[in-house]
Amino acid sequence: MKKNIKFRISYNAPVTLTFVLLCSFILLIDKTLLGGKFIPAFFTAPAHSGLENGFNPSSVMHYIRLFIHVLGHSDWNHLLGNLSFVLLLGPLLEERYGSKILCLMFLVTALVTGVLNACLLKTPLYGASGIVFMMIVLASITNIEKNVIPLSFILVVALYLGREIITVPKTENISTIAHIIGGVCGSLFGFLVAPKSKRTAKKSKTEADENKKRLEEIDNQSPRFKNGTAPREEDSEVVGTIEL
């Protein structure tokens, strides 16, 4: 007798999938309902404060845009180019580092690129290119050990940064600096942030040490012990017998 096999769809990488859905929904609204004015108004990192439409320190929305500019894209080709990498690398990195840590990486990378754009560049910035290149570099660091730098990491950084430095951007508002900063963030995360498995192992070891310490404290407080040592056999006293 054959059993019916049921399949279900799993939201396996919540941070990655939520990011992809938000980017897609924002571009859809921008292109279909708001005539291309939604993303420039809300999902761009402001330019230098001394310029027109530059960063305004008194505007709360401008501070928010330093984070959320990564959700805006110029067109569907721009979006699909970025999201193809996000969907490819995101679930792997989220499994390796955990959803909370990956979300924090996204926020830090977005903030750093947004702040640098507001401090240095003359045009608004939007797009997830910095996030993508952060993930590319981070994924190349598969096994970091003390005083060991993987050759794959060196090659990825050399190829990536070399291309970004010698290539003049052809698309407006897609900044080479955002790409480079994203790669730098990815390399720092790779060397500074431990994978989830290592963090779990460290936590388990800490808990085991704490349990051992508590047991030792209980033993030391027991009346069977004197000055932290077990009683000698001749010091013991028979207080009763048990028949089996």
CATH of residue 54's domain is: 1.20.1540.10
Please state, in angstroms and as integers, the Cα–Cα distance from residue 20 to each residue in 47, 73, 226, following that order.
25, 12, 65
156 pLDDT more than 80: no
Provide the number of structural domains found in the chain.
1
Site of tokens 């909370």: 100
pLDDT of amino acid 47 = 86
pLDDT band at 237 (very low <50, low <70, confident <90, very high): low
225 pLDDT more than 60: no
209 within domain boundaries: no
183 within domain boundaries: yes
228 within domain boundaries: no
Least confident range of 69-73, 173-177, 237-241 = 237-241
pLDDT band at 172 (very low <50, low <70, confident <90, very high): very low
pTM for the whole thing? 0.72
Which DSSP string corresponds to 90-155?
A: HHHHHHHH-HHHHHHHHHHHHHHHHHHHHHH-SS-B-SSHHHHHHHHHHHH----BTTB--HHHHH
Quick one: average pLDDT of 57-68? 92
181 within domain boundaries: yes
156 within domain boundaries: yes
Could you list the residue range(s) of the whole structural domain that residue 95 is in? 14-197
147 pLDDT more than 70: no
219 within domain boundaries: no
71 within domain boundaries: yes
